[in-house]
């Protein structure tokens, strides 16, 4: 009698890689997506805590630019990130000057916005623009 | 050393047997194989495709008249392969041989073609009419094209079953590959049928050929994908399928 094990479940061999690729592609049925679903695939929804005056200013800018507050926030945030990437001195200083020790173990510092920014945000709310 | 016979078969019609048979034959010839394409389908579509609409009763003459095989072949220098043409008379040949109890001569006659060619690709008829089983039993391998639709998949199941029954009786082809044809990745139905196919046949499922008018056009112009659309995605897939076939024939 042979020494090999017999019976049991018969294993299905690996798939043809081209077939597996087709199945992966098919699983993402982009044609059936609505325009909104397709756009949402590229974006994520985030939740940040910001001062109410800043929220109002972003909404005012969005209105002024004829777009949504969400898209205005994306432009403004993106612009700031680009400046940060360019090592813009003023922007990095804001972080340094606003730092106070955090009491939460999740991060080291609380960073407050400069006080004089608040009046600028409020003026957006009052006038829609400067 | 004798060659091998690959039958392209599915009892369901319209699944792309002739298209696949023609492209497997031409693809293998391009890869340097000495290839013979046998048009065993009484519709004679492969013959009409490659002989520019001409009707030639080659297979009838081989099986009934008893002409030597080499005298029934047509050289296709454009593609570097030979064709054993078929026509409506192929159906008559099978009926006549069946009536006089000579259907048993079909498989040996086809087997002898392997003395002429390294690879014999056989375009099979879309039914289990008289002579179908005899043609199939001459083959070493069977490649089954299918659409990703329930009725066509049932044809794949039946083909696998027939091949298995023939093997149990001491002859007949092994299942080489299943080729999903006219596949549309974006439809739920095709996705689900592909899932079924893969669950049943695993690695013998070969790359799916997408649905495209380019394939239809090649037949209309008496051409092949390799020449008419060398850079198209469907041509790349067809080349991959030819590679799979040659890989199996080479024992890989």
pLDDT, one tens digit for every residue, chain A (130 residues): 445 544 444 445 678 888 988 888 887 766 667 777 777 777 778 889 999 999 999 999 999 899 999 999 999 999 999 999 998 888 888 998 989 998 888 889 999 999 889 888 888 777 765 5
The enclosing H or E element of B200 equals helix B188-201
Closest residue in chain A to residue B240, using alpha carbons only: A18
Residue with tokens 């520019």: B52
Give the list of residues 6+ apart from residue B185 with CB closer than 8 angstroms, or none.
Answer: A22, A25, A26, B191, B208, B210
Measure the CA–CA gap between A40 and A33, rounded to whole angstroms. Answer: 10
Measure the CA–CA gap between A99 and B166, rounded to whole angstroms. Answer: 82
Give this prediction's pTM.
0.71
Average pLDDT over residues B178-184: 94
Average pLDDT over residues B107-119: 95
Query: Out of B186, B206, B207, whose CB is closest to A29?
Result: B186
What pLDDT shows up at residue B20? Answer: 97
Closest residue in chain A to residue B193, using alpha carbons only: A23
Q: Does any CB of chain B come closer than 8 Å to the CB of residue A2?
A: no
Residue with tokens 């006659």: B109
Q: Which two tokens stand for residue B12?
A: 């369901």
Query: Which DSSP string do the residues of A37-102 spell out, in sequence order?
Result: HHHHHH---------HHHHHHHHHHHHHTTS-HHHHHHHHHHHHHHHHHTT-HHHHHHHHHTEEE-
What pLDDT shows up at residue A30? Answer: 66
The enclosing H or E element of B217 equals helix B213-220
In the stretch 59-118 of chain A, residues with CB closer than 8 A to chain B read none
Measure the CA–CA gap between B195 and B66, rounded to whole angstroms. Answer: 47
Q: Mean pLDDT, chain B, as a whole number?
A: 93
Q: Does any CB of chain B come closer than 8 Å to the CB of residue A14?
A: yes
Q: What percent of chain B has pLDDT over 70?
A: 100
Residue B136: closest CA among B116, B117, B158:
B158
Q: Do A23 and B198 touch (CB under 8 A)?
A: yes
Q: Do A25 and B185 touch (CB under 8 A)?
A: yes
Distance from CA of A44 to the nearest CA of B (A): 25
In the stretch 21-50 of chain A, residues with CB closer than 8 A to chain B read 22-23, 25-27, 29-32
Q: Is B175 helix (H, G, I), strand (E, B) or coil?
A: strand
Angle at A71 between CA A69 and CA A72, to 5 degrees: 60
Q: Is A15 helix (H, G, I), strand (E, B) or coil?
A: coil
- B4-247: which CATH architecture? 3-Layer(aba) Sandwich (3.40)
Q: Do A15 and B198 touch (CB under 8 A)?
A: yes
Compute CA A45 distance to the chain's CA centroid, rounded to the nearest angstrom: 6
pLDDT in tens, B5-29: 999 999 888 899 999 999 999 999 9
What pLDDT shows up at residue B25? Answer: 98
Average pLDDT over residues B194-222: 92
What pLDDT shows up at residue A1? Answer: 44
Least confident range from A2-16, A96-110, B87-101, B176-190: namely A2-16
Q: Does any CB of chain A come closer than 8 Å to the CB of residue B201?
A: no
What pLDDT shows up at residue A10? Answer: 44
Distance from CA of A79 to the nearest CA of B (A): 38
Residue with tokens 């047509």: B74
Domain ranges of chain A: 52-127
């Amino acid at each position: 009698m042979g020494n090999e094990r017999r019976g049991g479940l018969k294993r299905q061999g690996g798939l043809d890689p081209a077939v597996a690729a087709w199945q992966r592609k098919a699983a993402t049925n982009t044609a059936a997506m609505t325009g909104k679903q397709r756009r949402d695939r590229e974006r994520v929804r985030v939740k940040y805590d910001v001062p109410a005056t800043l929220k109002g200013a972003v909404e005012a800018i969005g209105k002024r630019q004829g777009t949504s507050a969400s898209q205005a926030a994306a432009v403004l945030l993106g612009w700031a990130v680009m400046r940060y990437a360019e090592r813009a001195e003023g922007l990095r200083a804001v972080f340094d000057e606003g730092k106070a020790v955090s009491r939460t173990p999740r991060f080291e510092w609380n960073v407050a916005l400069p006080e004089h920014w608040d009046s600028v945000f409020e003026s957006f709310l009052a006038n829609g623009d400067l | 050393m004798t060659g091998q016979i690959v039958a392209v078969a599915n009892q369901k019609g319209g699944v792309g047997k002739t298209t696949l048979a023609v492209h497997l034959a031409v693809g293998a010839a391009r890869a340097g194989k000495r290839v013979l394409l046998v048009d065993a389908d009484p519709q004679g579509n492969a013959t009409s495709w490659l002989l520019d609409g001409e009707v030639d009763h080659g297979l009838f003459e081989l099986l009934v008249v008893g002409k030597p095989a080499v005298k029934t072949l047509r050289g296709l220098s454009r593609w570097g392969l030979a064709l054993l043409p078929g026509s409506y008379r192929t159906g008559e040949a099978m009926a006549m041989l069946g009536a006089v109890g000579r259907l048993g001569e079909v498989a040996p006659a086809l087997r002898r073609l392997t003395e002429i060619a390294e690879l014999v690709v056989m375009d099979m008829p879309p039914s289990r009419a008289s002579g179908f089983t005899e043609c199939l039993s001459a083959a070493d391998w069977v490649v089954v094209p299918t659409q990703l639709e329930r009725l066509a998949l049932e044809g794949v199941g039946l083909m696998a079953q027939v091949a298995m029954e023939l093997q149990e009786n001491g002859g007949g082809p092994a299942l080489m590959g299943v080729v999903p044809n006219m596949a549309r990745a974006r439809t739920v139905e095709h996705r689900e049928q592909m899932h079924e196919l893969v669950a049943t046949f695993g690695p013998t499922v070969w790359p799916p050929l997408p649905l495209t008018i380019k394939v239809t056009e090649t037949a209309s112009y008496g051409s092949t994908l390799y020449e008419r659309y060398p850079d198209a995605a469907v041509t790349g897939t067809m080349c991959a399928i030819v590679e799979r076939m040659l890989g199996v024939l080479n024992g890989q």
